[in-house]
A and B are shown apart, each in its own frame.
Chain A
Amino acid sequence: MENCRSCVAIAGADYCVIAADTRMSTGYNILTRDYSKICKLADKCVMASSGFQADVRALQKQLAARHLIYQHQHNKQMSCPAMAQLLSNTLYYKRFFPYYSFNVLGGLDNEGKGCVFTYDAVGSYEKVGYSSQGSGSTLIMPFLDNQLKSPSPLLLPAQDAVTPLVEAEAIDLVKTVFASASERDIYTGDKLELVIINAAGIRREYMELRKD
């Protein structure tokens, strides 16, 4: 039943990288090698979801509709933190019949700093510097912790938690991480889709992964 398996997001001082592989599978079968799990919700806000893709599609439609209403009422795009809370509430409203969707939300906040929000299936969320979801996450997270681990935002006196990497380094890290995950996770592979958001706008990059 579970369709799609790995996604990652990393936030930097003035950029955000969101990435997911493009393999869609059911059981041991691959349904397609060219499926995008990344959805642009607002100008500076992008969501990547792993899990059951029918629920993911329904969730994306819901959020797009709510965003349109917001634009009509407020005459501006939703900011990433606002969209983050909307996503959390949307997920929780189906608390007793959840969206089987494990999301990461990435984008720039109102000051242009990168932000990443990570969710569970029923809407609990947290702003973090980096995150991964899906079956590949148990392989990817320890590696990201090793490379990117920053002081916890809960520490007092506060320590700055921005990822020290520049955009090019972060992109390189994501590519490395997926290449490794494809080696050991059967559900990850085929192609990597990267979405990079910075002050200049949004751009997409692709990289081939193992097809076996």
Chain B
Amino acid sequence: MVKPAKGTTTLAFIFKEGVMVAADSRASMGGYISSQSVKKIIEINPYMLGTMAGGAADCQFWHRNLGIKCRLHELANKRRISVTGASKLLANILYSYRGMGLSVGTMIAGWDETGPGLYYVDNEGGRLKGMRFSVGSGSPYAYGVLDNGYRYDMSVEEAAELARRAIYHATFRDGASGGVASVYYVGPNGWKKLSGDDVGELHYRYYPVMPSTVEQEMVEVTGA
């Protein structure tokens, strides 16, 4: 059975300097845009981010729950939880609710003792470790730009620009994605929000309107 797509575009990738995470901000209920300013990059703790795709309430609730569990782990074990551990906690919870209709397609990105970490976790209980992911209805478009421009040894600015462009192109072609393209960077000192740009403005920044010669000018028609 074909899975219905989650109306959004989120992406994350690991590169030499850390992890880059980006997302759009549109929430749609069927054909109606219910919000253009949804926070789809959720700050689980100062060094770990989660992305939201699928049911907004499901993602918000379970990411908050994951943040609580991560904090409890820190208190019980006197050390931060790894990205591997955090993603496993979430995946196990979602697996136990398998078949009950939750809709969650999330990426857990963070920096722990082993360096940068990125996992994809979804509502079927699937959990994948990887270097590049994009989730949502706009992901095919984002993958096109991301896979084309990706190099492991990029600088932070280059990686941010790649992420921003990939989200922009997805919002351009996918009706269910839009709003503000947010880009976050996760490094050894934790995450930092790098930019939040309205995709309408990004369009004119990437494709500025060129003045062109006029072929025909409109003139006033004298009354018949």
Contacts and interface: CB of A to CB of B under 8 A. Distances in A.
For chain A, which range describes its interface: under 10, 10 to 19, 20 to 34, or 35 or more residues? 20 to 34
B61 A155 contact: no
Contacts of A118: 35
B34 interface: yes
Contacts of B36: 152
Contacts of B61: 88-89, 92, 95, 123
B38 A126 contact: yes
Q: In this complex, which of A96, A124, A128, A138 has the most chain B Cβ atoms within 10 angstroms of its Cβ?
A: A124
B179 interface: yes
Interface residues of B, number: 28
B168 to A, nearest CB: 14
A156 B193 CA distance: 8
A91 interface: yes
Contacts of B100: 96
B57 A124 contact: yes
A154 interface: yes
B101 A96 contact: yes
Contacts of B37: 126, 128, 152-154
B180 interface: yes
A155 B180 contact: yes
Interface in B14-43: 25, 29, 32, 34-39
Contacts of B102: 95
Interface stretch (B72-80, B85-93, B128-136, B194-202): B194-202
Interface in B33-57: 34-39, 55-57
B182 interface: yes
Given A96-B101, A124-B55, A126-B39, A156 B196 contact: yes
Interface string B61-74: 10000000000000
Nearest to A138: B32
A156 B37 CA distance: 13
B176 to A, nearest CB: 16
A154 B179 contact: yes
B137 interface: no
A126 B102 CA distance: 20
Interface of B: 25, 29, 32, 34-39, 55-61, 100-102, 179-180, 182, 193-198
18 contacts: A88-B57, A88-B60, A88-B61, A95-B61, A95-B102, A118-B35, A122-B57, A122-B58, A123-B60, A124-B56, A126-B39, A138-B32, A152-B198, A153-B37, A154-B39, A155-B198, A156-B195, A156-B196
Given A88-B60, A92-B57, A154-B182, 6 more contacts: A92-B61, A95-B57, A95-B61, A123-B60, A124-B55, A156-B194
